[in-house]
A and B are shown apart, each in its own frame.
Chain A
Amino acid sequence: DSGVTQTPKHLITATGQRVTLRCSPRSGDLSVYWYQQSLDQGLQFLIQYYNGEERAKGNILERFSAQQFPDLHSELNLSSLELGDSALYFCASSVGWTSESYNEQFFGPGTRLTVL
């Protein structure tokens, strides 16, 4: 158990809908990262927050948005869902942010999103 929690574990929805994925980082970690992993694909970095502020942005679609709250939990919002958005969405957390020399990321169990 990494200490990172994600809810829900599974989510099934229809095209055009909007969903919210939630992540709670490990105690003491200030950074939260979101990744998308489609079937047989590598981990694609979406976005990072550090202590409530957006720190880095990857290949995140405009239909997707995220935020980190004062209690450090984070939510990833996916809207106007398409079939291609079906994937595993992982959240990870770390103590610091990427410019530091050691920044191990601890991953949550993921949310499996299925868009029908």
Chain B
Amino acid sequence: GQNIDQPTEMTATEGAIVQINCTYQTSGFNGLFWYQQHAGEAPTFLSYNVLDGLEEKGRFSSFLSRSKGYSYLLLKELQMKDSASYLCRDKLSFGAGTTVTVRA
């Protein structure tokens, strides 16, 4: 996606924590979305941030700093089923996605 950067791959152990960073450069910011996508399936919505700070939803949390153009998705107590691609989105642009592999 244009002007949205996130790491390509991350690997973590079951039960651990992983943080996926996303940086964006855009004007007229209207919030940042995070999606999960399993291979061959549709993306599903995880979280939305429009104000600075942390939004917590169970094992998943998302953080936003508007002044830094930066967000992260925090996945806690990783499970094997969390192995997927995680995409951040700003308006119509998606990042290329971060493939998270959870190992036993």
Interface size counted on chain A using CB atoms at 8 A = 27
Given contacts A42-B94, A45-B94, contact A104 B48 (CB under 8 A): yes
Query: A-B contact count, CB below 8 Å?
Result: 59
Q: Which residues of B contact A56 (CB under 8 A)?
A: 92
CB <8 Å contact, A43 and B48: no
Bound CA span A90–B44, Å: 12
Q: Which residues of B contact A41 (CB under 8 A)?
A: 96
CB <8 Å contact, A101 and B91: no
**Interface code A74-115, partner B: CB below 8 Å = 1, 0 otherwise?**
000000000000001010000000111111111111101000
Interface size counted on chain B using CB atoms at 8 A = 22
Q: Which residues of B contact A43 (CB under 8 A)?
A: 1, 43, 87, 94, 97
CB <8 Å contact, B40 and A88: yes
Chain B contacts with A in 42-87, Cβ cutoff 8 A: 42-45, 48, 50, 87
Query: In this complex, what residue of A is CB-closest to B6?
Result: A42
Q: What's the least CB distance linking B95 to chain A, in Å?
A: 7
Bound CA span A22–B42, Å: 16
Given contacts A42-B1, A43-B87, A90-B42, contact A58 B50 (CB under 8 A): no
Q: Which residues of A contact B28 (CB under 8 A)?
A: 99
Instruction: For the A-B complex with A102-B48, A105-B33, A112-B40 known, give 16 more contacts whose Cβ atoms are closer than 8 Å.
Output: A35-B94, A41-B96, A42-B1, A42-B95, A45-B1, A48-B92, A90-B42, A90-B43, A98-B91, A98-B92, A99-B30, A100-B30, A101-B31, A105-B45, A107-B44, A109-B41
Give B residues with C-beta under 8 Å from A: 1, 28, 30-31, 33, 40-45, 48, 50, 87, 89, 91-97
